[in-house]
Amino acid sequence: MAQRHALIKRLSAVETLGCTSVICTDKTGMLTQNEMTAKNLWVAHRSLTVTGVGYAPEGTINEYDQPVPPAVPGDLKFLLTGAGLCNNARLLPPDAKSPQWKIIGDPTEAALKVVALKAGTDPEAELLKTPRVRELPFDSRRKLMSTIHQSGSERIVYLKGAPKEVLALCTLFFSGEQSQPMDDNLRAEIMSINDEYARTGLRVLAVATRVLPESVATYTSDLVERDLAFLGLIAMMDPPRTEVAEAIGKCHRASIRVIMITGDYGLTAESIARRIGIVTQDHPRIITGSDLDQMAEVDLQETFRGEVIFARASPEHKLRVVSTLQSMGHVVAVTGDGVNDAPALKKADIGVAMGIAGTDVAKEAADMVLTDDNFASIVNAVEEGRAVYANIKKFTTYIFTSNTPEAVPFILFAFSGARIPLALNIMQILSIDLGTDLVPALALGAERPEPGVMDKPPRNLDEHVITPSLLARAYLWLGPIQSIAAISAFFFTYWTSGYWGQFLDLPATGTLYLSATTMALAAVVTTQIGNVLAQRTERRSIFEIGFFSNRFIWVGIATELVVISVIVYVPVFQQIFGTATFPPEYWLFLLAWAPVLLVAEELRKGILRWKERRTTRTMHVGDSA
């Protein structure tokens, strides 16, 4: 039962994605994750560059384009030692099964160990010399983590985290092999360097250290994370996935807004958002978590009128943003991978967790799980959700169309005072609804997304599948044409048997009558061939998508022709459905009706496309004026 409920939940989420109007993301699925690389170091007023890409410890640390000698003691070694020890990732060298370096743990922490190895510092060897005593894990409130190590008789604290938060805990600045008091000028210099890195899209971490006094016996953040010595900055690059910019462009064309809500520094978030196309304006608004705490609800709603990025956001801030967007009538999808994302994932209309990097808590809170951790897959799911909804409408229209020729014979019979015989009997109607229509309708459900489906705004979540336009199309346009075909086939049988021009008082029993009803039944089936082809698209011509792009349609057409042939020619089924054979040449008359509904729909769609192009040209002329 639980598995069945989960499956229904997932399928519902895919369909709901079709009406998503806002996607809130923390860069989740947008960056490569497998190429996180340290690119710059800043230590003791010196800016260093790092060569090499990925997790292979191949590259050098350069200063003024000259390699820094490996394992240099002093400030650089202290910086990289601290980054390597305050770390839970593991590097796995190539082996017989994999020729590539791999990691276990967080990609950011792995990148720190890689840059340490490039500088000749081995974090694993350092850990043996200074074993870990305790860890104070990262949390979104502190925006940092720290570890405590035993070095001889001393306990040393290493800490890494967001530069601004780390700086606030530092009273000393490490330079060379000595420390000096931290002052406002040093803080301003460090934040200036941090901003330079962030503007280029680099993710910046600060590292600090402290020798723990003997008086500290309890390892709490208030006692441990204070009076620190600042060691330096490490700036890392995680390039966006190549397909993400295209996916963001699809979202914009589909009137789906993508909003970045991240714990990163604001300038870093802006740089990444600009690089992948989330923001395009020169000065998007960047709202930090502290700004959000002081912002009234009406002011928050007003910010969504322009481009906005939420930085340094906590789980509570993400939850508030999602709730506000929902109160404004948006259908909100949220992406996430961590425990801190769970409340927003649960609150969202569609929560999307990462299958590779995501935690079990995030996956349980979400409605969908991405197996490839790729944001582009979310956009593909939106497209698929729209296709699912469109396909439901397609086979609903297809089925409703045949209701009209099923009802018309009874209307004619009643209004003529029974002088016009019934062109279809009950069993024949059932053979259409439960027999010939079944497989083609299912084939429409497998139709691929129509070209241009992502160029429309999201539908309203409250919109019903059965709309007035759908009913009008089925009952007032296609249905009457199909009714004319069925009634014409019915009378055609009489007229070719000597009752030319006669509509009333025709034989209502006997072989001739059974043949006439069979012809009416066969006419409904053959016109449904053109109808199923016509329903494959909503606006586009079938010549654009190709007649054979959905092979299941032709399986459905073949199936309904087989079923009608069995009903017409097999004696047992003739007795069940009240049918009789008719001359083989009558099939020419029936097949002549087959393309009529397709032609009628092609004309209607052509007129709609012409009107849309005309409206677009008029708007362009107005904009130019």
- Regarding whether 391 and 255 lie in a shared domain, the answer is no
- What pLDDT, on a 0 to 100 scale, did the predictor assign at position 9? 46
Per-residue pLDDT reduced to its tens digit, 87-105: 999 999 888 887 888 888 8
* Position 2 confidence tier, pLDDT thresholds 50, 70, 90: very low
State whether 329 and 452 are in the same domain.
no
Q: What is the pLDDT of residue 578?
A: 94
Which DSSP state fits 595? T
pTM across the whole model: 0.74
Confidence of residue 4 (pLDDT cuts 50, 70, 90): very low
Please check whether residue 166 is in contact with residue 208, taking contact to mean a CB–CB distance below 8 angstroms.
yes
Q: Are 495 and 564 in contact (CB under 8 A)?
A: no
Which residue in the list 26, 337, 367, 437 is annotated as catalytic? 26
Average pLDDT over residues 419-424: 94
Letter string b/e over residues 408-418, b meaning 16 or more CB atoms within 10 A of that residue's CB: bbeebbeeeee
Question: Which of 29-43, 396-410, 584-598 is the least confident region?
Answer: 29-43
* Structural domain for 257, as ranges: 18-31+241-373
- The whole-number average pLDDT for the span 37-45 is 93
pLDDT at position 139, please? 86
* HSE of 423, CA atoms in CB hemisphere, 13 A: 31
Number of domains composing the chain: 3
**Same domain for 538 and 600?**
yes
Q: Quick count: other Cβ atoms within 10 Å of Cβ 566? A: 15
pLDDT at 44 over 80: yes
Give how far Cα 227 sits from Cα of 75, 82, 142, 221, Å.
Answer: 18, 16, 16, 12
Cβ contact 65:218 at 8 Å: no
Q: Give Cβ neighbours of residue 169 (< 8 Å, ≥ 6 apart).
A: 159, 208, 225, 226, 227, 228
Whichever domain contains 205, its CATH number is 3.40.1110.10
Q: Both 361 and 441 in a single domain?
A: no
Q: Which long-range contacts (CB under 8 A, 24 or more apart) does 408-414 make?
A: 408/483, 408/486, 408/487, 409/486, 409/487, 409/490, 409/520, 412/487
Query: Domain check: are 225 and 254 in the same one?
Result: no
Cα distances (Å, whole numbers) of residue 572 to 243, 525, 566, 568, 576: 59, 20, 9, 10, 7
DSSP string, 50-106: E---SSS----EEETTEEPPTT-TTHHHHHHHHHHHS---EEE---SS-SS-EEES-
DSSP secondary structure string, 264-285?
S-HHHHHHHHHHHTS--SSS-E
For residue 15, the model assigns a pLDDT of 63
Are residues 89 and 83 in contact, defined by beta-carbon separation less than 8 angstroms? no
Query: What pLDDT sits at residue 3?
Result: 45
277 within 8 A of 249, measured Cβ to Cβ: yes
Q: Which residues pair with 179 in a beta bridge?
A: 174
Under a CB-based contact definition with an 8 Å cutoff, are residues 533 and 594 in contact?
no
The verdict on residue 1 lying in a domain is no
- Residue 210 falls inside a structural domain: yes
The yes-or-no answer on residue 360 being catalytic is no
> How are beta strands 132-139 and 144-151 bridged, if at all?
antiparallel
Residue 205 lies in a domain: yes
Residue 72: the pLDDT is 59
Residues contacting residue 236 through CB under 8 Å, at least 6 positions apart: 36, 37, 38, 39, 108, 111, 202, 203, 204, 205
Residue 32, pLDDT score = 65
Contact (Cβ atoms closer than 8 angstroms) between residue 543 and residue 521: no
| DSSP β-bridge partners for residue 134 | 148
Q: Which segments of 432-509 does DSSP mark as H helices, in order? A: 438-444, 468-471, 479-495
> Which two three-digit tokens encode residue 308?
């906005």
Asked if 447 and 572 sit in the same domain, the reply is yes
| CB half-sphere exposure, 375, CA atoms < 13 A | 32
- 580's enclosing H/E stretch is none
Residue ending a domain, choose from 189, 218, 237: 237
Q: Give the pLDDT score at 8.
A: 42
Name residue, tokens 């329903």. 535
Calculate mean pLDDT across residues 61-86: 86
Model confidence at 1, pLDDT cuts 50, 70, 90, reads: very low
* Judgement on whether residues 143 and 258 belong to the same structural domain of the protein: no
Q: Residue 81 falls within a domain, yes or no?
A: yes
Express as a percent the part of the chain with pLDDT over 70.
Answer: 94
For residues 463 and 23, the answer to whether their CB atoms sit within 8 Å is no
The predicted structure's pLDDT at residue 267 = 87
Q: What confidence score (pLDDT) does residue 7 get?
A: 42
Give the Å distances, CA to CA, from 429 to 214, 534, 548, 567, 577.
91, 22, 29, 12, 9
pLDDT for the residue 157: 97
What contacts 223, CB < 8 A, 6 or more positions away? 216
User: What's the CA gap between 15 and 74, in Å, rounded?
Assistant: 59
Same domain, yes or no: 295 and 226: no
From 295, 244, 269, select the one nearest 162 (Cα to Cα): 269
183 and 68, same domain (yes or no): yes
User: If we measure between CA atoms, which residue out of 39, 53, 57 comes closest to residue 94?
Assistant: 57
- Structural domain contains residue 73: yes
Classified as helix, coil or strand, 345 is helix
Can you give the pLDDT at residue 98?
A: 78
Q: Let me know if residue 4 belongs to a domain.
A: no
Q: Which of 213, 237, 261 represents a domain boundary (last residue)?
A: 237
**Which pLDDT belongs to residue 169?**
96
Instruction: Specify if 113 maps to a domain.
Output: yes
Residue with tokens 């003024």: 64
- Asked which of 232-236, 426-430, 456-460 is least confident by mean pLDDT, the reply is 456-460
**What distance in Å separates the CA atoms of residue 453 and residue 120, rounded to the nearest whole number?**
54
53 residue type, one letter: V
Task: Give the CATH number for residue 452.
Answer: 1.20.1110.10
367 neighbors 351 (Cβ within 8 angstroms): yes
Residues 211 and 207: their CA atoms lie apart, in Å, by 14
Instruction: Decide which of 359 and 170 is more confident.
Output: 170
Of 333, 351, 373, the residue that ends a domain is 373
DSSP bridge partners of 334: 24, 351
Same domain, 367 and 458: no
Closest CA to 111 of 95, 133, 87: 87
Q: Are residues 309 and 219 in the same domain?
A: no
Asked whether residue 2 is domain-assigned, the answer is no
Q: What single letter denotes the amino acid at residue 625?
A: A
Average pLDDT, the chain: 89
CATH of the domain at 338: 3.40.50.1000
Q: Answer yes or no: do 450 and 560 share one domain.
A: yes
Task: Compute the distance between CA of residue 383 and CA of residue 17 in angstroms, rounded to an integer.
Answer: 8
Is the Cβ–Cβ distance between 444 and 372 less than 8 Å?
no
Mean pLDDT of 142-169: 95
What is d(CA 144, CA 210) in angstroms, rounded to the nearest whole number?
15
**What's the rounded mean pLDDT across residues 358-383?**
87
Instruction: Determine which of 20-24, 25-29, 134-138, 615-619 has the lowest per-residue pLDDT on average.
Output: 615-619
